[in-house]
Structure 1
Amino acid sequence: MKVSVWDTYVHRMDGNTMHFDILVPSTLQDTITIFSYGREYLETKPFGTGQLSTEECRFCHIQAVPDEVALKIQEKGYYIIEMENCT
């Protein structure tokens, strides 16, 4: 499966910046939907975060993903790769 990778940086209320990638099917181009996935993910965090918009989340590239990631995307619509300050 080919996915679009959306590189995302969101400020946390404690001063740190979260860095994570939102992976969606490469056919999905609706930024409203993609940003809603990012907001859904942020709601799972126990700490406060800033907004998520075109300033914080940008298309980066398209890549193939392993089958287990593709399955998660098919089930949920997206997959998050946590990079920095996400816990």
Structure 2
Amino acid sequence: MKISVWDTYVPREDGKTMHFDILVPSTMEEKESIFGYGREYLSSKPFQTAELSSKECRFCHMEQAPEAIADIINKKGYYIIEMENCE
């Protein structure tokens, strides 16, 4: 499965910046849906963050997804890769 990678940086209430990638099918172009996936992910965190918008989340590149990630995207619609300050 070919996927789009959306590079995302969101400030946390403690001054740190979360960095994570939102992975979606390459055919998905509806930005508000992609931002919605990011907001859903952020709502699962025990700390407050700034709002997620096009300022914090931008298309980065396309790549081929490993089978395990493609399976999750097929079931859930997206996949999050946590990079920095996500815990």
- TM-score (norm: length of structure 2): 0.99
Aligned to 1:53: 53
Aligned-residue Cα RMSD (Å) equals 0.3
- Note the residue ranges of structure 1 that are not aligned, 5 or more in a row: none
Aligned length in residues: 87
* SS of equivalent residue, structure 2 residue 28: coil
Task: Spell out, residue by residue over 1:7-46, the C-alpha distance to the aligned partner (whole angstroms, 9 max, x if none).
Answer: 0000000000000000000000000100000000000000
Residues 40-69 of structure 1: CA deviation (Å, up to 9, x unaligned): 000000000001000000000000011000
Work out whether 1:42 is the aligned partner of 2:36. no
Q: Say whether 1:30 aligns with 2:27.
A: no
Cα distance between partner residues in 2 of 1:10 and 1:61: 19
Q: Is the partner of 2:81 in helix, strand or coil?
A: strand
Identity %: 66
Aligned residue type for 1:23: L
Q: Secondary structure at the match of 2:37?
A: helix
